[in-house]
Amino acid sequence: MSPDESTGAAPEQADRSLLADLLERSRLYRTGKDYRDLLDFVTRLRNFAPFNALLLQIQKPGLAYAASEYDWRTRFNRTIKPHARPLLILWPFGPVALVYDVQDTEGDPLPEDVTQTFHATGPMDEDALDTAIKAVRKCGVYVTAVDLGDQWAGEIKIGRRSTDKKERPDYRVAINQNHEVNVRFVTLVHELGHLFLGHCGPDKYLRIEQRPRLKPNIEELEAESLAYLVCKRRGIASKSESYLAEFVKPDTTIDSLDLYQLTKAAGQVEAALNIAAHTLFEPRKKDASPPSELKG
């Protein structure tokens, strides 16, 4: 399952251990440039949750697009080539699932958004932003527009954190109404990033766990990294790129960043905004056995 679908500490610990082991064994993403390349990849593979996109990049760097055998067959009318090597992702409500690189398929021509590495879905507009603002109300996040100068973008304040899974919290996000609509959306994502990254503290209703307190600059870096991921996956360029450029230097390391937490939170933000995309899988039967490729 995707990390934001975890139902307890044990599954999340298993996910984190898996990621840590993959990163350690591959020795990837130790420099700032590697980190930026990783973020770029996760933004491109928008049909997977950010955490699963990260797993796929670790398994096959340079991957352009992947989908399940069912997705390739039903949505793209393509089949898997003989002897194709499957890639593993975390299965919703189960252990793992298999997906395949586009290069390991054959059939009908591919749609434009698959063949183009950077596919833009178009600029944000007022209606789309309003829809996003309404969506996050279900999470107990209420957005207001404020009239302030250009140097101030937004902030999030805690009205009430939830200590019970059934108690909706109360968070207030203020956004500068004088900014262009794309900037306002990026600001909203940035502030939601602070929330779901745990910078505002734990929250039972939103399944946000307690994290050690980070330095302010690291919190900002995490939130901007998340905004970069989520917004670019929607085809929106943001100020995050220039902010990250200050961090991404050849001699910069990223040991202080928690990539598991970052990609998990990005998935939660996408879900809160109701913009999450999903790869299709064949409906799972009750007590189904693992895919044949996984059997001994």
Mind listing the pLDDT tens digit for each residue in 55-76?
A: 888 888 767 788 999 999 998 9
| Residue 5 Cα distances to 19, 39, 175, 194, 201, angstroms | 16, 22, 29, 19, 19
In terms of average pLDDT, the best of 56-65, 198-207, 212-221, 249-258 is: 198-207
Q: Are residues 289 and 170 in the same domain?
A: no
Q: Are residues 239 and 146 in the same domain?
A: yes
Q: Are residues 49 and 152 in the same domain?
A: no
pLDDT at 157: 96
Q: Are residues 88 and 166 in the same domain?
A: no
pLDDT at 4 over 50: no
Distance (Å, whole) CA 296 – CA 293: 8
Mean pLDDT of the chain: 79
Which whole number is the average pLDDT over 149-156?
Answer: 80
Q: Are residues 111 and 134 in the same domain?
A: no
Q: Are residues 157 and 267 in the same domain?
A: yes
Greatest C-alpha distance within the chain:
63
Say how many Å lie between the first and final Cα of the chain, rounded: 22
Which whole number is the average pLDDT over 109-125?
Answer: 59
Which whole number is the average pLDDT over 52-57?
Answer: 86
pLDDT bin (cut points 50, 70, 90) of residue 185 is: very high
Q: Are residues 184 and 214 in the same domain?
A: yes
Give the pair of three-digit tokens for residue 34: 């590697």
Between helices 32-44 and 50-59, what is the axis angle to 10°?
A: 120
Give the pair of three-digit tokens for residue 134: 């309404």
The DSSP annotation for 188-248 comes to HHHHHHHHHTTTT--BTTTTBPP-PPPPHHHHHHHHHHHHHHHHHHTT---THHHHHHHH-
Q: Are residues 113 and 25 in the same domain?
A: yes
Question: What is the tally of structural domains in the chain?
Answer: 2
Domain extent, residue 169, equals 126-272
Which whole number is the average pLDDT over 183-191?
Answer: 91
Question: What is the DSSP code (8-state) at residue 271?
Answer: H
Contact in structure between 60 and 101 (CB atoms under 8 Å)? yes
pLDDT at 251: 55
The continuous run of DSSP H or E covering 256 comes out as none
Q: Are residues 51 and 147 in the same domain?
A: no
Q: Are residues 182 and 260 in the same domain?
A: yes
pLDDT bin (cut points 50, 70, 90) of residue 29 is: low
Question: What is the DSSP code (8-state) at residue 139?
Answer: G
The residue that leads in pLDDT, 129 or 236, is: 129
Report the alpha-carbon angle 284-209-153, nearest 5: 105
Contact in structure between 154 and 183 (CB atoms under 8 Å)? no
pLDDT bin (cut points 50, 70, 90) of residue 95 is: confident
Q: Are residues 110 and 148 in the same domain?
A: no
Question: What is the DSSP code (8-state) at residue 88?
Answer: E
Q: Are residues 139 and 215 in the same domain?
A: yes
Strands 96-101 and 66-67 turn out to be: antiparallel
Give the pair of three-digit tokens for residue 136: 């996050």
Give the pair of three-digit tokens for residue 148: 């302030």
Q: What is the percent of the chain with per-residue pLDDT over 70, rounded to a whole number?
A: 70
